[in-house]
Structure 1
Amino acid sequence: MSITDATAIEHIALTADPIGPAELSRRLGVSRSSATEIVDRLVSVGHLERQRDAADGRRVRLVATTAAQRQVREEIAPLIDAIGRVTERLEPANRALIASFLSEMALTHLDFANGLPSSSTTDEA
């Protein structure tokens, strides 16, 4: 799976509200026609499904399949294992500090991806 395909699946799987092809093109920084090609490719190999929006039948929402989520997890497993080994070497207090920092960063990233203001309320430096 290419980085672009994995990134597309990540954007689709991690959004609070389902997104369509136009939103995916914006998030990936590609043209709508390129996003359509990415979606077509991911649908053809069973990684994505197109679903009609229940409230507005004209809109199409993209949904990552269970198989796609599993494949992404399998492909990044070596990275997760390596991160775990690094984490094990840290002192417990440092682990807690880093975990807190990364949690805040993850929330900030998700807010940004969803077009929301940052949920971080701490402005301490």
Structure 2
Amino acid sequence: MSSHSSPGSGYWYGPDDRLDPPGAILQALRDYRISEAATRRSTQASMGMGETDLLALRYLLRAEAGGERVGPKDLSRILGITTASTTSLIDRLVASGHVRRDPHPTDRRSLVIVPTVVTDSAVRATLGDLHRRMMAVAEELSVEDARIVIKFLRRMSEAITEPPQR
């Protein structure tokens, strides 16, 4: 049995980085997830909205920046929520002034959901400094180190989404 799979392994018990590098890596990931979740909760509280609302706004802002039009069906699909939940979500975001419903420019029967200028400013004010700090950390990596980190994180994503072996 290797040191990283022993019962005293560092993933849960505070690794000694020199003796248990895999455990130290998993602990660092766990620490990051805890920090990221706390930041997400703080952001949600400061903006007065839930996680799905913020995910919708982030998607809408990114789509708008890319020149894409987003309709309610697109939001339902991207967020993995029902059309009824999407309608409630859009109603909340319209009522709070974060988005507006506009007629689709080429399909009179359809609507597009557009983030307001106020929303773009609020999201930038709330998350801009955080994103700058995170980007500064990423920019410190060499190209080779960045490739290694990207490959590692993608493989970890695959590992946690893979169905359990029976």
**Match of residue 109 from structure 2:** 58
Bigger share in helix = 2
What is the CA–CA distance in structure 2 between the aligned matches of 1:20 and 1:66, rounded to whole Å?
Answer: 18
Unaligned runs of 5+ in 2: 1-48, 151-166
Runs of 4+ with >3 A deviation: 95-99
**Match of residue 18 from structure 2:** none
Q: Percent identity?
A: 30
CA RMSD of aligned residues (A): 2.5
Change (3 A) 1:78 1:2: farther
Asked if 1:14 is matched to 2:62, the reply is yes
**Match of residue 26 from structure 2:** none
- Higher RCO structure (Cα 8 Å, ≥6 apart): 1
Letter in 2 for 1:6: L
Unaligned runs of 5+ in 1: 103-125
Give the alignment partner of residue 76 of structure 1, picking from 123, 127, 130.
Answer: 127
What is the CA–CA distance in structure 2 between the aligned matches of 1:85 and 1:60, rounded to whole Å?
Answer: 39
Larger radius of gyration: 2
Change (3 A) 1:56 1:87: closer
**Match of residue 67 from structure 1:** 118
Greater shift in the superposed pair: 5-14 or 25-34: 5-14
TM-score normalised by structure 2 residue count = 0.51
TM-score normalised by structure 1 residue count = 0.66
